[in-house]
Amino acid sequence: MARLPAAPAADAQAPEHHHTQRVGWLRAAVLGANDGIVSTASLVLGVAAANADSHSVLLTGVAGLVAGAMSMAAGEYVSVHAQADTEQADLGRERAELQRSPASELQELAALYQARGLQPALALQVAGQLTATDALAAHARDELGISSTQAAQPLQAAWASAAAFSVGAALPLLVTLAAGNRTSLMVWLAATALLALAGLGALSAWAGGAALWPGVWRVSFWGALAMALTTVVGRQFGAG
């Protein structure tokens, strides 16, 4: 009797990498870079449209970079720290409830799994096993929606946002230094800023695993609108 070939051994499954693991720093970096390009370019365009001299235009851009980077860092740190404080408060309450009434917390966790489609007996079994392993982690993830990949990290968000803002704001400053007269400055600055914003939208969409063109359109549209409005305001003041 011919021997049947042995079944191939199952390959070890490579660990999966998900884009949600990047959400903490990606959001802050995209926000910072976008704000750096838009706010600095808009400031320079507005002041240039008001017929300011080249020194004043450059000084405005430098001041915008420094003030914007510090503002982004402080804003991100404060806001994300508020989120972290809320998460820690919820975890503290959940920890106290687990100590006070573990049986009812076990039933609560089982009810969550049952609502997601598990049979009651299996839901209770899963809840029991997860509770025995790490009850607080199970409740944090499945009841509170807090996971290690998406937990608030204030310092990371602050540094990512400030650094990204500085990189984004450096582009309008370089164009300001390289441009000759006011007209060429405004044309080149608007063009390079829009190209940089389109690239930023594409890069953030790629890093987040999202569709390319919607990201490009969103970032470019709002950046163009901000620069156009600031230029109109600058011209109105310069005409006075």
- The predicted-structure confidence for 191-238, as pLDDT tens digits, reads as follows 999 999 998 888 878 877 778 888 889 889 999 999 999 999 998 887
Is the full-model pTM beyond 0.75?
Answer: no
At residue 4, the pLDDT reads: 47
Going by C-beta distance under 8 Å and a sequence separation of 6 or more, which residues neighbour residue 189?
Answer: 41, 44, 45, 48, 172, 175, 176, 179
Least Cα distance to 143 among 127, 132, 129, 125 occurs for 127
Question: What distance in Å separates the CA atoms of residue 94 and residue 195, rounded to the nearest whole number?
Answer: 48
Q: Are 200 and 33 in contact (CB under 8 A)?
A: yes
Tell me the pLDDT tens digit for each residue of 161-177. 899 999 999 999 999 99
Question: What distance in Å separates the CA atoms of residue 176 and residue 189, rounded to the nearest whole number?
Answer: 7
Tell me the pLDDT tens digit for each residue of 114-153. 988 899 899 999 999 988 988 888 888 888 887 765 566 7
What Rg value do the Cα atoms of the chain yield, rounded? 26
Which tokens is 208 given?
A: 């987040």
Concatenating the DSSP letter of every residue in 172-227 gives: HHHHHHH--SHHHHHHHHHHHHHHHHHHHHHHHHHHHT--HHHHHHHHHHHHHHHH
Q: pLDDT-based confidence at 76, cuts 50/70/90?
A: confident
Question: What distance in Å separates the CA atoms of residue 220 and residue 205, rounded to the nearest whole number?
Answer: 13
